[in-house]
Amino acid sequence: MANLYLFYNKELREKARKLRKEMTPVERKLWYDCLSNFPLPVLRQKPILNYIADFYCSKLRLIIEVDGETHGMKEARSYDERRTKALESKGLKVIRFTNYEVLNNLEGVRIKIWEELPKEF
């Protein structure tokens, strides 16, 4: 799949840098226990469009999001839906995991992410 350039809001660069330095404990767990050894490069806190993706694999055009407790609130769900639609409109796939899933079923999360790899991996 072609790696097309994705527009991003350059004003988000500094915020993304800060978020990389201050990962949540759940993001840190997913990164160090799962994504840091993924067979393809994965970026943390990647600005895409007007958003910052928690994790992004450009080779797969895959965004991996970790949703904390606030994502269950009505306003946050609505925002997440709009955000996902905007990202998917650019040919990206978004998969989401809750904090609970990462903390209590990391192996299931890992399997779901690894299923995104082409068969040759």
Structural domains of the chain, with CATH: 10-114 (3.40.960.10)
Instruction: Give dist(CA 24, CA 79) in Å, integer.
Output: 20
pLDDT tens-digit series, residues 60-70: 999 999 987 65
Instruction: Give dist(CA 107, CA 61) in Å, integer.
Output: 22
Identify the residue with better confidence: 6 or 29: 29
Identify the residue with better confidence: 73 or 50: 50
Mean pLDDT of the chain: 90
Band (pLDDT 50/70/90 cuts) for residue 72 is low
How far is the CA of 26 from the CAs of 44, 82, 106, in angstroms? 13, 24, 10
Angle made by CA atoms 8, 109, 36, in degrees to the nearest 5 = 60
pLDDT tens-digit series, residues 17-45: 999 999 999 999 999 999 999 999 999 99
Q: What are the backbone angles phi and psi of residue 2, rounded to the nearest 5°?
A: -70, 140
Band (pLDDT 50/70/90 cuts) for residue 119 is confident
Residue 78 has pLDDT above 80, yes or no: yes
